[in-house]
Chains A and B, each alone.
Chain A
Amino acid sequence: MNFLNYIELFISGAWVTLWTSTVAFALGLVLGVLVALARRSRLLILRTIGSIYVEVLWNTPVLVQIFIFYFGLASIGIRLPAIVAGIIALGVNAGAYLAEIIRAGLGSVPRSQLEAARTLGLAPAQTFFNVVLPQAIRTVFPPIVNRFIDLILASSLLSAIAVNELTGAARRVNAATYETLAVFAFAMLFYLVLTNLVSLAASVFARYAFKPAIAAPVWFRFRLRGSRLVDQTGLSAGAKSPRAQSKGDSR
């Protein structure tokens, strides 16, 4: 059990994992909102740019994207520190997925609600902030949290460009102790704790933030990670998946 002597390496690695994913996620959210709005725009050029962004990032591997931002940019004269290049790559990638989730969420608010708001004399901004947004956030929240969890897991790829996050730390400890199985199992345990804490925090947050909770009991029992398989392909995810999924998961 020599690897436990290196516990501070694991802890600092976990910390790097957590903050890099958080920063990348924030970047992804900003990009996601912008791209979602671009894809709903009336201008063809904006819609085209939005779909190209999403399709290109969806259909190429994240690792290659990270390499392009780190090695690729360096070879044409733009030298970024590994951790910066990695965060940008992860954020740009997450932006493509978040854009589709946000777009589906905005689309999930029925048209009639917009018409009713207009009839009641609400201004476009009021309609957006008081009618569309509160409803869209509810449907969009679970898949967005799933994306954050996926991002934490994807940040392990940063070890391939020598960032010392959790996976990188595990490799270093393995090289120092040769207790391979124990070291990697221990690192996996760290990831499990990290992802489950995020999941738990999100469901507690959702329970208190979204009042009156239309689906309160379901929200709480619903394991947020359950809807992942839906948002892999897709689009229609947001609105339907949480409730449909929870039937099976809340036993």
Chain B
Amino acid sequence: MNGNAWEAIWAGRELLWNGLLATLALSAVTIITSTVVGFLVGFARYSRIPVLDVVLRVYLELFRGTPLLIQLMFVYFGAAYLRLDWVSVFIASAIAITLYQGAYISEVFRAGFASVPPGQREAARTLGLSRFHTNKDVVFPQTTLVVLPPLFGQYLTLIKNTVLASVIGFSDIVRQGQAIIERGANSFVVYLVIAALFFAFNYPLSLLAGALERRIIRKRGVVA
């Protein structure tokens, strides 16, 4: 690589910085929203509410059986088709990523709730705890340990998935990288820099997920 490649990137550092912030903003927002959606859907599935259960299974099948990219296009271009002007690229991306990742996260929570032995629930109800308190004070606290490692794994996937928003035009780090390339920067170097930035964020997260998982194995002796 000659010096020019780095100079062009250095000249475009502000663009890259803005792109990084956009990626982080989209990640932060969707981590929160998809966790909320995932928790609610996971809990509803765990509670097996008759009609809702069928609806939610269709939702899961639909969003886990089709690519995120096409979901993004469906939401973004679809909103334009319906003339919903308030749906910006950011909002469309956030909606699609939330629904997609929420579907996966709901399975994490459902598995977590299911890992609490039914006897705990029965005992709590027998002792006179209300349904609400049985869930809040008996079931939920016991799931945190089990749920955390796969949840962090999902966050990792989510952060990587936010780059798909660049395909429909969201000015995230990949999009800004492309802008720098158009100004003459070497694309090999630019994409390596972007990959390195993702690695810098994701590697600690995956180490954390691994450490949490080993803690469960230590505490329970098995993989939950």
Contact = CB atoms under 8 A, between A and B. Distances in A.
- The interface centre, meaning the residue of A58, A171, A178 with most chain B CB atoms within 10 A of its CB, is A58
A184 B203 contact: no
A133 B163 CA distance: 38
A27 interface: no
B67 A68 contact: no
Contacts, number: 160
A61 B161 contact: yes
B153 A232 contact: yes
Given A170-B70, A192-B66, A71 B81 contact: no
B62 A188 contact: yes
Given A72-B188, A72-B192, A233-B153, A153 B66 contact: yes
Interface stretch (A41-49, A120-128, A154-162): A154-162
B198 A157 contact: no
A54 to B, nearest CB: 10
B191 A157 contact: no
B152 interface: yes
B195 A71 contact: no
Given A60-B198, A233-B153, A184 B78 contact: yes
Interface string A75-99: 1100000000000000000000000
B149 A233 contact: yes
B51 to A, nearest CB: 16
Nearest to A234: B153
B160 A229 contact: no
B213 A64 contact: no
Interface in A220-247: 225-226, 228-230, 232-236, 240, 244-245, 247
B166 interface: yes
A153 B157 CA distance: 14
Interface in B54-98: 61-62, 64-71, 73-74, 77-78, 80-82
Contacts of A200: none
Nearest to B70: A167
B154 interface: yes
B194 A64 contact: yes
Interface string B151-169: 0111011001101101100
B191 A72 contact: yes
Interface stretch (B13-21, B103-111, B136-144): B103-111
Given A68-B191, A248-B110, 6 more contacts: A55-B203, A61-B198, A68-B188, A160-B167, A180-B78, A232-B157
